[in-house]
A and B are shown apart, each in its own frame.
Chain A
């Protein structure tokens, strides 16, 4: 047993740190560390820097412009970039649709879409969930009917994250209603500018516009935008979901959030002393830090087994559940640390260039909204209930 990085891995970590020291824009890092909202431009600026370094597509083979990092290297990248406050890449293009196109797409699709993902020319969003198809994704109803060289698409997608910025959407659509639900689904790539597509914002409980509904009314999609075979979309969808699940545990982000919490608790005062010196509060922090330590090692165990040639299986489902619970606990504690100041909703202080007096603490304003917003963590990416179903079926045989 050896829990240490190899000399090469340590050298890689130094390289990553040097890159982040030099290239990560300070304003973007400040936003990420303070839980402030990132603009489309922020994401694009960082993507461009990563792409110039050749580090944007961490999951792709080198022939398509990927980095081909080992699982440990990817882990080092996740840890360090979270610690430095680098934004996580918006996953829908680079980490979700791209692996599907690489594995199942035509040569033409690869030539057309992959370079545009790398360059940032295309911003992808995900058309999976529907109002009636959430956890039961296979019951989706959006129809695609073949008509000559086109599919005519009608239906509605929902919870489309950052769809307001996207010019492309990958969709699961029903092409066959005669067969079992899973067998009549196809995977389509759709240009968002096609007539008949309407995007409507969904405002979340914290007042944010992050997700959308996307409506399709007689939308004409060229048949060459079908990925793989007609009616085989479920296979591709599941392949994509394994990519979605990787990283949902968010260990690196939790570590950064924990650091943020400790700093906040050092500045907040209770009975004339820093809150972090309060016996019961410091124990609450200690408990979640211990849980995070354990989950961090679990994560490394999965990474090491993948490095050794294994496949991440249902273990990543367990880690998704644990990891999201840990992050929600950290958000809960940050909210508690504000005491009465958890109540005001001071939106203007969430902007990085706010130059007025802070009501309580310079990092207070995003804390309560973040707590509410991150209730999503246990719902999306396969709800934690669905993850537990996977574990009980795949590992326990129940």
Chain B
């Protein structure tokens, strides 16, 4: 058994780490975050130029044919840098759904651009009433002529504000919350009847809600088999959960490092506050939460690209449950250990805390995944 990255995986991670260190100071991140685009177009270009947006794609698309481990290597470093580029949405989720469900024309049309970073995708899978259940789809896709007409609303589409193409779930048959009858559609950003309500997110990136007012799409917009998308969505969000685990571990590593440094530097009562046992034990608890999260991230990566099974489902639910809890513990206890300074905008810790708490609100929180896991108990 060997838990280390192999040489190529390590090189990949080092490449991302170098890039992030060079380009992504905390001050620059605040600038990127406040820009209209909501992230750095230049950094995104560099991710593309270095082949990093192509990591999970096959070699003919300039990729590595990377699996969960390689994707996590990238995401961990993006998490350490608190990067806000839409890698998860475009490369992992958008690219993943098109790779799995798309026919050869669709793959040809979109994947090259997504892999090179020239095209950005985002995914609209949630709805106002869906909470975290992605089978809770009320957006309707009615047959009209050769194609479809979409009507409904998709909620909290991170990166959707600047995506060139949106992968959207809609119901072609069945009742809300049926797994059967969900279909996926490729919706170009400039489709008539598509409205985006754009907003900043609390953790510094941007997203939108999509309002689909009778958006008319051709037959080539259907991604995969009609009515059979639920399994595809579940599989690809599983890959995305593994990727998010990587990001979370990266962010938790930095949050723990910052807290430990502070405990050593900050003096009160004539000694570094790290001399106080209550803070020592809290720091140890934070580190063991990080280790729990790291272990589950590794496990998640190992099944991310395996064929679907209850075992894969269990592991991914467990991993997302653990990183949700660890992330919240490290955020809250880290702020507490810092005192007032941990509450300020000017100091980076709070931004890590906000990102970690919001990771728990992406793709299902710890309660949601606990329930999923319980339903799969053997």
Q: Do A and B come from one complex?
A: yes
Residues of A near any B CB (own CB < 8 A): 129, 132-136, 139, 158-159, 202-207, 211, 268-272, 275, 280-281, 284, 335-336, 338-346, 359-360, 368-369, 371-372, 375-376, 378-380, 383-385, 388
User: Are A360 and B128 in contact, with the CB atoms below 8 A?
Assistant: yes
Given contacts A204-B343, A340-B361, contact A346 B268 (CB under 8 A): no
User: Are B129 and A341 in contact, with the CB atoms below 8 A?
Assistant: no
Given contacts A205-B354, A340-B126, A342-B361, contact A134 B340 (CB under 8 A): yes
Nearest-CB distance from A127 to chain B (Å)?
Answer: 15
**Which of A280, A341, A368 is within 8 Å of B367, CB to CB?**
A280
Residues of B near any A CB (own CB < 8 A): 126, 128-133, 136, 155-156, 158, 176-177, 197, 199-203, 207, 209, 267-270, 276, 278-279, 332, 335-336, 339-340, 342-346, 350-351, 353-354, 357-358, 361-362, 365, 367, 370-371
User: Are B345 and A204 in contact, with the CB atoms below 8 A?
Assistant: yes
**Which of A159, A202, A368, A383 is within 8 Å of B202, CB to CB?**
A368
Q: Which residues of B contact A207 (CB under 8 A)?
A: 345
Knowing that A341-B156, A379-B335, A385-B276 are A-B contacts, what are 18 other residue pairs whose CB atoms are under 8 Å apart, sorted by A's residue number?
Answer: A132-B267, A134-B268, A204-B344, A204-B345, A205-B343, A271-B131, A272-B177, A335-B357, A339-B132, A343-B361, A344-B202, A359-B209, A372-B350, A372-B357, A376-B340, A379-B343, A380-B340, A383-B336
Nearest-CB distance from A210 to chain B (Å)?
Answer: 10
Give the interface SS of chain B, mostly helix, strand, loop or mixed: mixed
Give the interface SS of chain A, mostly helix, strand, loop or mixed: mixed
Q: Which residues of B contact A369 (CB under 8 A)?
A: 202
Nearest-CB distance from A324 to chain B (Å)?
Answer: 11
User: Are B158 and A379 in contact, with the CB atoms below 8 A?
Assistant: no
Q: Which residues of A contact B209 (CB under 8 A)?
A: 359
User: Are A379 and B351 in contact, with the CB atoms below 8 A?
Assistant: no
Q: Which residues of B contact A359 (CB under 8 A)?
A: 197, 199, 209
User: Are A205 and B156 in contact, with the CB atoms below 8 A?
Assistant: no
Nearest-CB distance from B126 to chain A (Å)?
Answer: 5
User: Are A139 and B268 in contact, with the CB atoms below 8 A?
Assistant: yes
Q: Which residues of B contact A372 (CB under 8 A)?
A: 202, 350, 353-354, 357
Taken together as a complex, chains A and B put the C-alpha atoms of A300 and B201 apart, in Å, by 41
Q: Which residues of B contact A378 (CB under 8 A)?
A: 336
User: Are A205 and B345 in contact, with the CB atoms below 8 A?
Assistant: yes
User: Are B340 and A339 in contact, with the CB atoms below 8 A?
Assistant: no
Q: Which residues of B contact A132 (CB under 8 A)?
A: 267
Taken together as a complex, chains A and B put the C-alpha atoms of A136 and B156 apart, in Å, by 44
User: Are B156 and A343 in contact, with the CB atoms below 8 A?
Assistant: yes
User: Are A345 and B351 in contact, with the CB atoms below 8 A?
Assistant: no
Question: Which residue on B lies nearest to A349, using beta carbons?
Answer: B199
Q: Which residues of A contact B129 (CB under 8 A)?
A: 269, 272
**Which of B207, B332, B340 is within 8 Å of A158, CB to CB?**
B340
Nearest-CB distance from B178 to chain A (Å)?
Answer: 12
User: Are A281 and B332 in contact, with the CB atoms below 8 A?
Assistant: no
User: Are A344 and B156 in contact, with the CB atoms below 8 A?
Assistant: yes
Q: Which residues of B contact A380 (CB under 8 A)?
A: 340
Question: Which residue on B lies nearest to A368, using beta carbons?
Answer: B202
User: Are A281 and B367 in contact, with the CB atoms below 8 A?
Assistant: yes
Taken together as a complex, chains A and B put the C-alpha atoms of A336 and B360 apart, in Å, by 9
Q: Which residues of A contact B201 (CB under 8 A)?
A: 343-345
Q: Which residues of A contact B267 (CB under 8 A)?
A: 132
Q: Which residues of A contact B344 (CB under 8 A)?
A: 202-205
User: Are B365 and A159 in contact, with the CB atoms below 8 A?
Assistant: no
User: Are A135 and B268 in contact, with the CB atoms below 8 A?
Assistant: yes
Nearest-CB distance from A245 to chain B (Å)?
Answer: 17
5 A-B pairs in the complex with CB atoms less than 8 angstroms apart: A203-B345, A204-B343, A272-B176, A342-B358, A345-B199
